[in-house]
Structure 1
Amino acid sequence: MTAPSTPIPDDDEIDPRRVRSRNRLLDAAAHLLSTGGVEAVTIDAVTKASKVARTTLYRHFNSSSQLLAATFERLLPQVIPPAPSTGSLRDQLIELLNRQASLFAEAPLHVTTLAWLALGPTANSSAGDGTDTSAPTGALRTRVIDQYRQPFDAILHSLQAREELDDFDVELAMCQLIGPLVFARMTGLRSINRDDCEHVVDDFLAAHQRAHEAATGGRPQPPTTPRG
C-alpha cells in the first residue's frame, strides 16, 4: 500500500525572505490605504514605500487588485455578533443594527471595503498580463458578506421571526435594515445613533407585520421559512 503523499508547503511558508517581503508590501499598502484611500495603493507607491522590487511584488500578487484585497483582509476588524438573546425580535434587531452602526463609525475602513467591492477593480488595478484577478476579490467579498449574514441569519431565520413576520426575502431584509447605515456613513449625511436604529427596525417590522396580517387576515399561521 502506498503511503499518502505529504502536501508540499507553499514557498511563502518555507522561505523567510518571502514572508518578510510580503509583510513589508502589506504594511506599506496598509499605510497607504489608511492615509490616502484606495487610489493611493498603486504598484509604484507600494514598491517605493516598502523598498521591495516590482518583480518581487508580482511574485506575491498578480495585480494591485489582488494586493488591495489582501490588504483589506488584513485590516478588516472582526464583526462580533451579539450574544444570543431571549428578548423580543425588535430588541434583538435593534441591538444588532446598533452594533453595525458602531462598527461603521469606529472602523470606516469597513465601509471603504464595501464601496471598493461594489465598484469592482479600478482602472489601475489590472494585472496587465491577462491574469484573472477575480479570485482574491471574490474571496474578500465572500468574507464580508458572511460577516454580515451570520448574525442576521440567526435572527431572521428564527422561529420568532417566522411567527411574527410575512414570508420575506432575507437578503432583501438585510438590505432594508443595514442599507440606511451604509448610505449615511458613505455620504456623511448623518451619524447614525441608537434612536435611528430603532426607527429603521420599527419601519421594517411594521411593513412586514402589516403584510403578514393582511395575508392571514389576522389569523395565526404555521411558521414559514424566509427566502434567501
Structure 2
Amino acid sequence: MYYAVSTLGSRDSFIGVASSPNLTPGSWKDHGPLFRSRPDGPYNAIDANWISIAGSPFITFGSYWNGIHQVPLAGPLALADGAQARNIAYNATGNHAIEAGFVIYRRGWYYLTFSAGRAGDYVADPPAPGDEYRIVVCRSPSGRGDFVDRDGRSCLTEDGGTTILASHDNVYGPGGQGLFEDRERGWVLYYHYADPRIGLTTGEYQFGWNVVRWEDGWPTV
C-alpha cells in the first residue's frame, strides 16, 4: 500500500509504503518513505498509483505545480537505480490544477485518468462554476508520456484531457478517482464527490461509482 504524507498546498511531501500479508488491521508493516519531494522541487510526492508497464513497475503520482509524473521502481519497496521522475501530464492554465493520476491497461492502450479542477473548501472559497473537480482521461500506446485525449491533444503540452465525469444533478466535484475490473460489471470508476443536499465540506463528501462503457476505445459513464 502506497500512501502520502503532506500538508495542504505544500510540496514538502513524501510517498511511503506499507505491506500486509492479509490486509487485516494490525498486520501492516510500515516501511517508511519511498521518495520525497521538496518545497522548491519540480513535483509533489502525493497520490501514488502503482502500474506495470511492459512488465516493469512504475509509480504514477503528482499534484498541481508540474502535474502528473511517473518514476520506475526496482521492486515494491525501492526506486530503480538512477530513477528519474518523468512528467506525463500538465495543465499550463491557472494554478495547474490536476492531480490524482491513475493508470490502467486495456486492449493495447494505457489510460491515464486524473482529477482536474479544484477540490477542497467549496463553502468558504468556492470555485467558479466549471472549475470544481472533474474526472478526465488520456491514453497512450506506451504508457510513458505520449498521452493524448480523444481529440488528439497532448496531455503534457496542450492541456489535453477528455472529461469522463463532471458535476451534474446532485453530484458536485467528482474526483480522487480510481478504476478496477469487476468480474460481473466490467470496469468500474469510483470517486468521491459532494452532494449539495448533504453538504459541501470535505467531511461530508460521498463515495460514488459508475460502470464504465467503452466507445471507440474510450471510457464513458
- Taking structure 2 as the reference length, the TM-score comes to 0.23
| Higher relative contact order, chain-length normalized (CA < 8 Å, sep 6+) | 1
Q: Which has the larger radius of gyration?
A: 1
The structure in which a higher percent of residues are helix is 1
Greater share of residues in strand? 2
TM-score by length of 1: 0.22
